[in-house]
Structure 1
Amino acid sequence: MKPILIIQTGHTFPEIAAAHGDFDDMVYRALNGKQRKTRVVDVSRAAALPAPSNCAAAVITGSHDMVSDKADWSERTARWLSQAHGHGLPLFGLCYGHQLLAHALGGEAGDNPNGLEIGTQTIERLPACDDDPLFAPLGSRFPAHTVHRQSALKLPPQAVLLCRNPHEAHHAFRLGKHTWGVQFHPEFSAGVMSGYLRRHHGRQHAEPAQNTPEAAALLQRFASYVSSLQAV
């Protein structure tokens, strides 16, 4: 079977990586990685991406960088994502990956006018989720972990808005049959979220954040969806 490609666009803080693994490790676990063939390509360190035809799907990680900076490695990855989407490769972008997908496919990424969103937030599920293979099972409102200053300010043409909240107008979208982006972090555990809160707010956030099982299930459903496509 072809691997699910994990496109690593950055690295978490050292103390979080030591306790919970780096962004690629988080995604691997969220995909139920022990039962999935995966391959990591660290584009933030200029690693070359394979041809989309050699992959079953791709997940694009978060990053501490900004899409609007248009770093060379990021722009190369954006061009690859545009090619992969045209090829019909299933794609799932997380935070930076979500913004990069929007940028690559005709939208726009930039500073969120509401500033930083951080912590476990309530996300609203929109009616467009009803027939979506990944988002249909979500409740009308569900908790998810967030940490971002930038957003997909403008979605790509023909994109379907799936989720939002008062801070973030574009928390999730789908484009075509199987390209998805989410601004929140389904791959984050409560421990990871607590680590980011301590980074931003200090020791008063030493207690673990709450779990987010509905959001966490999205990546495992994505992996199952990819497996179903491969079985056809």
Structure 2
Amino acid sequence: MSEAGDFIDATLQRESSWQRAEAEQDRFGPGLSVYGASVGAVRGTVRDALRRYRELDRDGLTALSSELWAVPVFERRLAAVVLLQSALRHLDNSDLTRIEGFLRGAHLPDLADPLAVDVVGPLIAGLGGQARTRSEAVLDRWLRDPDPWLRRAALLAPLRELRKGAGDWARFRRRAALANGTADSRPDGGAAEIVRAAVERVEREAGGEA
């Protein structure tokens, strides 16, 4: 593990609470370990790490996010998300491949939703020209993927823009119809609900404009 990765992991463990870990473990299930650190502690730890390891460049930041995500511990994976949020100015459409891998392993709104809303959405909103076109094509591909968490992410990605009145509601409606159609074709009702919940969140938080 890198020095920065060691620092983040050790700090998160020091910030842990067995009571919180026990409660969160019941909520998340057996596929993901939990240290028991608060969301505030995760954000503070990443902030401290960025101050401590100022030499981290784009490659170092993205590699660190992958290093943190690789171990199935909730706080480590949330730290990877927060790290990407902090590194947005360094990211471009080529980073969507890495983020896609994270989304496929997220399996929780607590991880998938901030990746979509606070990383994918702002990343794409900051692009222009061919880079923007290619990134929108990636979202369209996600909408057709069997993985419901990718479909959910594609729908949640424009939430910030839609909240501000700057998003494309017509595109969102088309994507919602496509994502729901893909979900409805599968026998797994849970997958359909994962997608429907994303549509409902966007309409609730952004006003559901026609």
Q: Fold-level match, TM-score > 0.5?
A: no
TM-score by length of structure 1 reads 0.29
Determine which structure has greater relative contact order: mean sequence separation of CA pairs < 8 Å that are 6+ residues apart, divided by chain length.
1
Flag the structure with higher helix content. Answer: 2
Q: TM-score, normalised by structure 2?
A: 0.31
